[in-house]
């Protein structure tokens, strides 16, 4: 959904022009779908999150995912292992939790971090 705004996903159709770094809020999917101040994090912000949290796999309300707990307190975020959607097919559901960034990687995609459930 990189650079797609609130449009339906189609991997051959990206609104990203290759010149925005980070991705413009006008096509940031998080902002367009959720509104308010929501936005995709930059790669630097994701790296900061990973450096300052402890990682574990857990299940919350029947959903498997990655739990990132602060090294300074008990605050955490939960990333469901929802996998990916590619070419009309779901892949890695229940196995991988992804974080997309607003930092470009090449001319039509962004840096992505994912974790594997082993």
pLDDT in tens, 21-79: 788 888 787 888 888 999 999 999 999 999 999 999 999 899 999 999 999 999 999 99
Query: How far apart, in whole angstroms, are the C-alpha atoms of residue 39 and residue 42?
Result: 9
Residue 4's pLDDT is what? 54
Share of the chain above pLDDT 70, in %: 81
Picking from 113, 98, 94, 93, the residue whose alpha carbon sits closest to that of residue 44 is 113
Asked if 55 and 113 count as a contact pair (C-beta separation under 8 A), the reply is no
d(CA 86, CA 78): 23
Which pLDDT belongs to residue 1?
A: 45
pLDDT at 87: 75
User: What is the rounded distance in angstroms from the CA atom of residue 98 to the CA atom of residue 91?
Assistant: 12
72 versus 16: the higher-pLDDT residue is 72
How far is the C-alpha of 100 from the C-alpha of 113, rounded, in Å? Answer: 7
Choose from 5-14, 32-41, 50-59, 87-96 the range with maximum mean pLDDT: 50-59
Of residues 70 and 93, more confidently modeled: 70
User: Of 10-14, 62-66, 103-107, which one has max mean pLDDT?
Assistant: 62-66
């Amino acid at each position: 959904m990189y650079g797609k705004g609130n449009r339906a996903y189609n991997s051959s159709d990206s609104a990203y022009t290759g010149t925005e770094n980070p991705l413009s809020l006008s096509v940031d999917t998080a902002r367009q779908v959720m509104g308010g101040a929501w936005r995709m994090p930059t790669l630097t912000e994701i790296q900061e999150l990973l450096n300052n949290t402890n990682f574990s796999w857990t299940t919350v309300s029947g959903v498997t995912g990655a739990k990132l707990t602060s090294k300074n307190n008990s605050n955490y975020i939960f990333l469901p292992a929802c996998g990916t959607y590619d070419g009309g097919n779901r892949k890695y559901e229940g196995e991988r939790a992804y974080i997309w960034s607003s930092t470009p990687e090449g001319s039509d995609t962004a840096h992505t971090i994912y974790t594997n459930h082993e």
